[in-house]
């Protein structure tokens, strides 16, 4: 992995170079081992929270971790194209539009002791903008090269906060073309339902049950590109103890191992059908 400017990353994408890089401000990573018709994203994977914000933040490190999506990059790490956030959504949320990306409060609790100075806002929003410049370049290249593209938008959610039974996997599809891509949506749901999980954890999957797919990452790609399907894919945090902040690496590994084969097969089927 190398450190690159956003301009250099975009230039490499336009030239169809393979590389693995972290942005020069360490806000996101991108890996392109091969140019293929599918990509994986993990926009809430990050936990970094820049030091100049620490003293002004009312949320603890654990409270921030609780709302992030740890290990979602790890679950898709084996695939040729992966882009992931490094910074916490509490600094700026890549899955929100720029005008709402910086929280004033989060999950019912005020975030800042004092309002953020303008320069702090601008620094965070520049990171947000840079990420989407790269996303735009990436999807442009994949649509140009293959005609169509599919993006697996990986997230997780805290299932223990729900007062009813919720699925292990949730697909949010309210902002994609369900008529055009309905077959691929249902087949992805069925694949996720068969995920073999250790420790007696059952795998269930539903569509628009806990979340509906209203994130900005999905909306940005869907609104700017006519031939890319984004599958907002949420796994319940069965791979950790969300209340004690304990990770279960054997569960993460099981998901990664399963998706290594099944995600690629799903993408291949998608491309075979829609490439014309």
CATH of the domain at 85: 3.40.630.40
**Angstrom distance (rounded) from CA 209 to CA 197:** 21
Tokens of 98: 């720029």
Confidence at residue 109, expressed as pLDDT on a 0 to 100 scale: 86
The C-alpha atoms of residue 176 and residue 34 are separated, in whole angstroms, by 26
Q: Is pTM beyond 0.85 here?
A: yes
* Distance (Å) of CA 53 to CA 107, 114, 265: 19, 11, 43
β-strands 38-42, 81-85: how paired? parallel
Q: What is the pLDDT of residue 6?
A: 98
Q: Please give the backbone phi and psi of residue 110, each rounded to the nearest 5 degrees, phi first.
A: -55, 135
Domain range enclosing 216: 2-274
Look at residues 249, 275, 40 and name the one whose alpha carbon lies nearest to residue 155. 40
The tokens describing 142, both together, are 């994949």
Q: Which whole number is the average pLDDT over 3-21?
A: 98
Tally of domains within the chain: 1
Torsion sign (Cα): 163, 166, 170, 175: negative
Banded pLDDT at 108 (limits 50, 70, 90):
confident
* Residue 264 vs residue 160, higher pLDDT: 264
pLDDT band at residue 107 using 50, 70 and 90 as cut-offs: confident
Does residue 170 contact residue 209 with C-beta atoms inside 8 Å?
A: yes
For residue 7, pLDDT over 80 is answered with: yes
Cα–Cα distance measured from residue 206 to residue 191, given in angstroms and rounded to the nearest whole number: 11
Q: In this predicted model, which residue has the larger pLDDT, 109 or 102?
A: 102
Q: What is the DSSP string of 232-263?
A: EEEEESTTEETTTTEE-HHHHHHHHHHHHHHH
* Angstrom distance (rounded) from CA 151 to CA 186: 15
Start-to-end CA distance of the chain, whole Å, equals 35
Q: pLDDT band for 131, please (50, 70, 90 cuts).
A: very high
105, pLDDT greater than 90: no
**Secondary structure (H, E, C), the chain:** CEEECHHHHHHHHHCCCCEEEEECCCCEEEEECCCCCEEEEECCCCCECCHHHHHHECCCHHHHHHHCCCCCCHHHCCCCEEEEECECCCCCCCCCCHHHCCCCEECCEECECCCCCHHHHHHHHHHHHHHHHHHHHHHHHHHHHHCCEEEEEEEEECHHHCCCCCCCEEEECCCCCHHHHHHHHHHHHHHHHCCCCCCCCCCCEEECCCCCCCCHHHHHHHHHCCCEEEEEEEEECCCEECCCCEECHHHHHHHHHHHHHHHHHHHHHHHHHHCC
């Amino acid at each position: 992995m190398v450190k690159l400017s956003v301009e250099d990353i975009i230039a490499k994408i336009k030239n169809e170079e393979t590389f693995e890089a972290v942005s020069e401000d360490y806000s996101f990573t991108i890996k392109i081992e091969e140019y293929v018709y599918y990509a994986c994203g993990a926009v809430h994977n990050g936990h970094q929270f820049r030091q100049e914000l620490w003293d002004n933040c009312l949320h603890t490190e654990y409270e921030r971790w609780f709302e992030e999506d740890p290990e979602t990059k790890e679950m898709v790490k084996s695939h040729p194209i992966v882009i992931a956030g490094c910074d916490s959504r509490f600094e700026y949320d890549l899955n929100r539009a720029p005008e709402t990306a910086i929280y004033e409060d989060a999950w019912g609790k005020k975030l800042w002791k004092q309002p953020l100075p303008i320069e702090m806002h601008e620094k965070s929003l520049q990171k947000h903008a840079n990420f989407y410049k790269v996303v735009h370049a990436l999807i442009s290249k994949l649509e140009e090269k293959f005609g169509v593209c599919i993006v697996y938008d990986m997230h997780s959610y805290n299932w223990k906060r729900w007062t009813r039974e919720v699925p292990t996997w949730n697909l949010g599809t309210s902002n994609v073309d369900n008529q055009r891509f309905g077959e691929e949506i249902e087949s992805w749901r069925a694949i996720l339902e068969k995920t073999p999980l250790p420790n007696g954890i059952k795998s269930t999957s539903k569509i628009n049950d806990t979340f509906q797919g209203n994130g900005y990452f999905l909306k940005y790609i869907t609104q700017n590109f006519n031939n890319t399907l984004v599958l907002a894919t949420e796994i319940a945090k069965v791979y950790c103890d969300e209340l004690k902040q304990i990770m279960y690496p054997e569960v993460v590994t099981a998901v990664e191992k399963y998706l290594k084969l099944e995600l690629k097969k799903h993408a291949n089927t998608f491309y075979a059908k829609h490439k014309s």
